Amino acid sequence: MIKSKKLRRNKYQESVGDRFKGKLGPFRHFFSLFLWFGFVLVLGACLSRLYCELVSGRWFKVEQIDISGLKKLDRTEVLDAMGLRRGQSALEIDPLRVAGRLERLPLVRSASVKLDWKGRVAASIVERRPVAVLQCGGRQMLMDSRGLLFGEAGSAEKNLPPLMTGFCDSSAKTGDSISPESLEHISELLSAVDGSKWLSRSAIDECRWTRDGFTLTLGQKAVPVNFGKQGFDGKLAKLRNVINTLNDRGWADRVTRIDLDYHGRAYLEGEFPVPEPARGTQNGRADQHHRG
């Protein structure tokens, strides 16, 4: 049987489908890229929707904020610095950023923040510890071991460290630091006091700094004791011997000034008894100075 022309097909003749594929060949990569871009777009929209549902849903909400290490800081002040609120999504919280906000508080030395998926935020704070109180004009500023002024000393505060005068003026403010040289002098003196084992910081009313060095005010009578600029360990040992000698002779209440800035000796001023004149001499006169 002979087929009609419409049914006959030359095996060497290109089919319609092949011709169509050939025409779409140059656009095949474009369509693939378009489909991939559409898939990514849809996936991103789905993930964005899921994130919004998580943030606005009841999951991962801040239900509790615990703060440890508070001694002088107020909890309300810390909460304000953290910038968190109850019911806030935990997914919006960056613990490192929150800790950085806390460390901007002058009284905070370091802080760490941890977050769990049960809605609990735990903040641990290490407050700065004052090692000295500096008289800056009419204000008494707390200073830490690094020389940073981090706040004012309250009038009702107890067990404050020694008062240092002569290191700053009225222009000093919270956040300022004293000079490295001044910090070195203060640190050397306090280290010598702590190492003496017999003189406590609380027994010192004032440490006055001048160009000649330190003058410490001690005791109920506020006796000034000149320490100079260096050799504090040896001068503290010398002071202990002076005090023991005064107590043995019953002259502790008579001394009005002590100067230890002498090599191998101490200079004392006070209302001391008149020594009896030596035999064969005239009556001696009262001498209010004594070298020991």
Summarised one tens digit per residue, pLDDT across range 253-277 is 889 999 999 888 899 998 888 766 6
Give the pLDDT confidence score for residue 279 in this predicted structure.
57
Residues 145, 168: Cα–Cα separation, whole Å: 16
Task: Pinpoint the residues of the chain covered by CATH 3.10.20.310.
Answer: 64-127
Give the pLDDT confidence score for residue 21 in this predicted structure.
54
More confidently predicted of 44 and 64: 64
Please state, rounded to an integer, the average pLDDT across all residues of the chain. Answer: 81
Q: Which residues contact 209 (CB under 8 A, 6 or more apart)?
A: 164, 165, 166, 167, 182, 185
Residues 279, 282: Cα–Cα separation, whole Å: 8
Q: What average pLDDT does the segment 149-172 reach? A: 87
CA 194, 196, 202, 207 torsion-angle sign: negative
Give the pLDDT confidence score for residue 86 in this predicted structure.
77
Q: What is the DSSP letter of 174?
A: T
Task: Pinpoint the residues of the chain covered by CATH 3.40.50.11690.
Answer: 179-272+288-292
For the residues of 35-79, what is the DSSP string, one character each?
Answer: HHHHHHHHHHHHHHHHHHHHHHSSTTB--EEEEE--SSS-HHHHH
Q: Are 178 and 143 in contact (CB under 8 A)?
A: yes
Q: What CATH architecture applies to the domain 179-272+288-292? A: 3-Layer(aba) Sandwich (3.40)
Quick one: the chain helix, strand, coil %, rounded to 5? 35, 30, 40
What confidence tens digit (pLDDT) does each residue in 100-116 have? Answer: 999 999 899 999 999 88
Residues 70, 182: Cα–Cα separation, whole Å: 30
What confidence tens digit (pLDDT) does each residue in 180-221 have? Answer: 999 999 999 999 999 998 998 888 999 999 999 999 998 878
Give the pLDDT confidence score for residue 131 in this predicted structure.
92
Give the pLDDT confidence score for residue 158 in this predicted structure.
76
pLDDT confidence of 4, banded at 50, 70, 90? Answer: low
Asked if CATH classification 3.10.20.310 holds for the domain at 64-127, the reply, yes or no, is: yes
Give the pLDDT confidence score for residue 287 in this predicted structure.
41
Exposed, middle or buried, 217 (CB in 10 Å: 0-12/13-18/19+)? middle
Please say if the pLDDT value at position 286 is more than 60: no
Residues 6, 282: Cα–Cα separation, whole Å: 161
Give the pLDDT confidence score for residue 80 in this predicted structure.
92
- Two structure tokens written together for 105: 């508080």
Give the pLDDT confidence score for residue 132 in this predicted structure.
93
Give the pLDDT confidence score for residue 195 in this predicted structure.
92
pLDDT confidence of 40, banded at 50, 70, 90? Answer: confident
Residue 291 phi, psi dihedral angles, 5° rounding: -105, 135
Please say if the pLDDT value at position 236 is more than 90: yes
More confidently predicted of 76 and 5: 76
Residue that has been written with the tokens 């008894």 in this structure: 273
More confidently predicted of 253 and 23: 253
Residues 231, 214: Cα–Cα separation, whole Å: 11
